A and B are shown apart, each in its own frame.
Chain A
C-alpha cells in the first residue's frame, strides 16, 4: 500500500494563533478517513494544511510521497470546499463551474477538448445534476451547489478526494446522491479524506475516524456505532454546536479552555 498523505508532527495556525500543535497522520491508498472533532477543534485546519492553504509551521507533510512544497501533481487531488466561493453577481452555469475541475489536468494554456467535455458531463451525471448543466449555479439549492462542487472535483479524475464538511446543511436527497458518488469513487480505488461534523449517511463508507482535539489527534480508530438514543431509528441528530461533544468517540468532553479555539 502506498502512502497518499503523510503528516508528521505538523503545527499550523492563523496569524498569532496556533490551531494544530502536533499532528501525525498517515492515509494509505484506498483509505477513507473521516476527520472528526468539535467545532473549532482544528479539523478543517488540518485538511487545509495538508492542501497547503494554511502554511505549515513545524513538521512535515508529504503528498503521494513528495514533500508538499515540491508537490506539483495537483491533478491527483480533488478538493471540495465547504461552499461555493463568495462569487458575485456575474452568473456562471453549473457546467462552467464543473469545467474548472479540468484545469489541473489540462493546464492553463490549452482550451477544453472533447475529453474535458465528456468528463464534465460524466461527473455531473454521477451526482444527478446533468439536467442542470446549463443553469446558473445561483439558482440551485444549497445541497445541489454542494453536489456541483463534488462534480467539479470528480471531473478532474483525482486519486485523492479531500472534502470539508460536505454534509453541512445539505438536504437528504443531496446527501444520498453524494454518498453514492463517493461510494463509486472508493470502489474504483480512490482515497478519501473528509472533515465531518457527524457521520450521517456516509457512515458505511468510513474506514477510519480521526478525532482532532486540542491541536492533536486525540483518537484514531474505526468509527463507533451510534449508541444510546443516537441509535434509535429516526433519531434526528440535532444539538447546539457550542456544546458539541462527539458522543462515544471522544471519551472526554472539551473543557472551557479547549472550546475557546
Chain B
C-alpha cells in the first residue's frame, strides 16, 4: 500500500476512479441502444487522432478528442440515415481509423512500439498533473450530462420514435451521446487504453443488470462496480506488477461472473419459496 504515497500512483488512482465512474454512466445508454461495441469503434478512430497529434507535434490527447468526435458524429449520421448498410459503413470507418493511426504514429518522429502500446493499452504511470486536470474536467462534464439528462436519454434509448413524438430534440441528444462517447474514449485511453476502453463502459453495466430491476438502480450499481474495478485495478496491478488497464477489465469481468451467479441463485431461491401461480399466457413474444 505504500505505493500509494507516490504522487504518480495517486494521479493514476484519481484518473482511474474518475473514468470508472463516468464510463458506465455513459455505457448504460449505449448498451440499452444495442451499441455496446461503439466505444471500441470510436477507440479505433481515436488512434488516428493520436497519430495526427504526434505527427503535427500537437497534444495527442487533444487531437484524439477532435478526431474521435468527428468520427462519432459521422457514425451517428450514418446510423440515422441508412439503416441497411450502417453495419458495413461502421466497419470501414473503424478499420480505417486503426490503420490510419498505426501509419501516422509510424511516420512521426517519436515512433516506436512503446509509444503505440502506450495508447493501445494505457499508460497510467506516465499520467501528468495536466493530464489529470483534463481527465477530471472532461470526466465531470460527461458525468453531469449523463445524470442530469437521464430521463430524456432513457426515453430516447428506450423508444426513439416515442421520444420524437414527445417533442424531444432527438438529433441533438443523439449527437450529444456520440460526442460524449468520443470524449470518454479519449480520456480513458490513458487508463485502460483504446483497445479496452469499451470494456469499462459495457462490462459494469452487464454486471449490474444481472441483479437489478430498474434502469436507475442498474446505473447506480454499474457506476459502483466501475469505480470499484478501476480503483482495485490500480492497486492490484501495482502490487502484482500487471498492466493496470487489463487488470481493471479482468476485475470488472469477475464482478460480472459474481453478479450472474448471485442472480441465478436468487432466482432459484425465489422460485422455490413461491408456489407456482397460474401465469397469464404470453400473447406476443416481445424481444425485450
Contact = CB atoms under 8 A, between A and B. Distances in A.
Interface of A: 51-53, 72-75, 77, 79, 81, 83-93, 95-97, 99-101, 103-104, 108-109, 111-112, 134-138, 141-145, 152, 156, 162, 168-171, 173
B29 to A, nearest CB: 9
Nearest to A145: B286
Contact of B288 (A87, A111, A144, A152): A87
15 contacts: A84-B288, A86-B287, A87-B159, A89-B31, A91-B212, A91-B218, A92-B214, A95-B214, A96-B215, A108-B168, A108-B173, A142-B282, A142-B283, A171-B280, A171-B281
Contacts of B152: 103, 108
Contact of A91 (B160, B161, B173, B213): B213
Contacts of B155: 100, 103
B115 interface: no
A81 B161 CA distance: 9
A151 B152 CA distance: 18
B96 to A, nearest CB: 28
A141 B282 contact: yes
Contacts of A52: 164-165
Among B164, B281, B284, the most chain A Cβ lie within 10 Å of the Cβ of: B284
A90 B164 contact: no
A100 B158 contact: yes
A61 B78 CA distance: 29
B149 interface: yes
A88 B34 contact: yes
B283 A143 contact: yes
Given A91-B215, A100-B158, A168-B284, 15 more contacts: A86-B34, A89-B209, A90-B28, A92-B214, A93-B213, A93-B214, A93-B215, A96-B214, A103-B166, A112-B151, A142-B285, A152-B162, A169-B283, A169-B284, A171-B281
B165 A90 contact: no
Interface string B65-78: 00000000000000
A92 B32 CA distance: 10
Contacts of B161: 53, 79, 81, 85
A138 B279 CA distance: 14
Contact of B213 (A72, A77, A83, A134): A134
Contacts of A136: 213-214
Given A93-B215, A138-B288, A74 B151 contact: no
Interface of B: 28, 31-34, 148-149, 151-152, 154-155, 158-169, 173, 205-206, 209, 212-216, 218, 279-288
Contacts of B218: 90-91
B146 to A, nearest CB: 13
A87 B158 contact: yes
A53 B283 contact: no
Q: Which 3 A-B pairs have the closest CB atoms?
A: A74-B167, A85-B159, A108-B152
A186 B209 CA distance: 40
B283 A104 contact: no
A167 B29 CA distance: 30
A91 B214 contact: yes
A231 B9 CA distance: 80
B142 to A, nearest CB: 17
B175 to A, nearest CB: 14
Given A108-B168, A134-B214, A143 B280 contact: yes
B223 to A, nearest CB: 14
Contacts of B206: 89
A182 B93 CA distance: 49
A255 B218 CA distance: 52
Contacts of A51: 165
A53 B206 CA distance: 32
Contacts of B163: 100, 103
A90 B167 contact: no
Nearest to A93: B214
Contacts of A156: 166
A141 B284 CA distance: 8
Nearest to B84: A15
A72 B281 CA distance: 41
Contacts of A103: 151-152, 155, 163, 166, 168
A71 B164 CA distance: 12
Given A75-B167, A103-B152, A109-B148, A92 B158 contact: yes
Contacts of A143: 280, 283
A170 B283 contact: yes
A100 B162 contact: yes
B151 A81 contact: no
Given A103-B151, A135-B213, A141-B280, A88 B32 contact: yes
A72 B166 CA distance: 10
